[in-house]
Amino acid sequence: MDLLVQGIVTGVLIGGLYALMSLGISLSWGALKIINLAHFSFILLSAYLVYQLTVTFEVDPLLMTLVVVPAFFVVGVLTQMFFHWAKVDEFKSLIITFGIFIILQSLTQTIWSADFRRISSDLNVYGSGSIIIGGIALPTPVLLAFIVALAIAVVMSFVLGRTYFGKAVRAVAQDPEMARAYGVDTRRVAVILSGLSGAFSAMAGVFIAIGQAIFPGLAVSWFGVVFSVVILGGLGNTVGALTAGVIVGVAAGAAAVTWGPLAAPLVTFVILIAALLFRPEGLLTSRSVA
């Protein structure tokens, strides 16, 4: 019984990490109509950067957030500027970002090799730590990820729902032409949103770097989880992404406890198929951006 409760709690927390990983893709797909597969590489690269910087300078890995998050904000901005310049539509965005994904994937492998890398525990105090409440352990890396994901979801939902920028984003998502006609600087909105997407991906990378061993093949293994979360959560819906992340996390965690860790991807995919069959528009559609 305890094992199951523990599994569920861990699943909820991991759901936060899943949500964080999915936010970038969900936002840029929902609002900018660009399916950016390169986000998987952004997450992976960010994790590797955190690993490398921590090991090289022997500092607290969480401090690296201050480096990678702004860095990937800039990357996100540049990506969007490139898409604008090349006039990329959805179909092409798939091909092009897939190409970028392949390039970054091979680069990662060339630079860091295919070996497992992990920040050693004397540098990474969070890695193996956990907070114990009532006999249930909350592993620090995913706990932090969950808190950050929750904060981002709440803030983003406020920003998208209540501010001028949010209104502009929703206008762009609905009809870019009309938004432009009414004086919205669509280019700027898109660029900022893409930057934010990059920053969220970098954030996910930080928690992956402190929480687990990293290797280049990881990025491919995220496909299923992230798409399930994106589709179940509804495009561009940050609160939806967190909810969906928790559902997927709990289901995958329960499956891992019951049938072993290798069954988790299968359960994720079943959720994805179920979502497509019954709620293709996402769980919390009414608040969606798109």
Task: Point out which residues bind other proteins (CB under 8 A).
Answer: 29, 35, 37, 86, 90-92, 94-96, 98-103, 105-107, 110, 220-221, 223-224, 227-228, 230-231, 235, 259-260, 262-263, 265-266, 268-269, 272-273, 276-277, 280-281
| Shortest CB 120 distance to other proteins, Å | 28
| Shortest CB 232 distance to other proteins, Å | 12
Query: Which residue, 139 or 240, has its beta carbon nearer to other proteins?
Result: 240
Q: CA 165, 169, 174, 175: dihedral to nearest 10 degrees? A: 80
Query: Which residue, 96 or 172, has its beta carbon nearer to other proteins?
Result: 96
| Shortest CB 268 distance to other proteins, Å | 8
Query: Which residue, 81 or 150, has its beta carbon nearer to other proteins?
Result: 81
State the Cα–Cα distance between residues 26 and 287, nearest whole angstrom. Answer: 14
State the Cα–Cα distance between residues 18 and 169, nearest whole angstrom. Answer: 23
Query: Which residue, 123 or 287, has its beta carbon nearer to other proteins?
Result: 287
Half-sphere exposure of 112 (CA within 13 A, CB side): 23
Q: Are 228 and 248 in contact (CB under 8 A)?
A: yes
Helices 38-57 & 90-112 angle (0-180, nearest 10): 30
Query: Which residue, 18 or 101, has its beta carbon nearer to other proteins?
Result: 101
| Shortest CB 125 distance to other proteins, Å | 33
Residue in the block written with tokens 């956990």: 130
| Shortest CB 46 distance to other proteins, Å | 19
Query: Which pair of structure tokens corresponds to residue 201?
Result: 């991906």
Q: Are 248 and 89 in contact (CB under 8 A)?
A: no
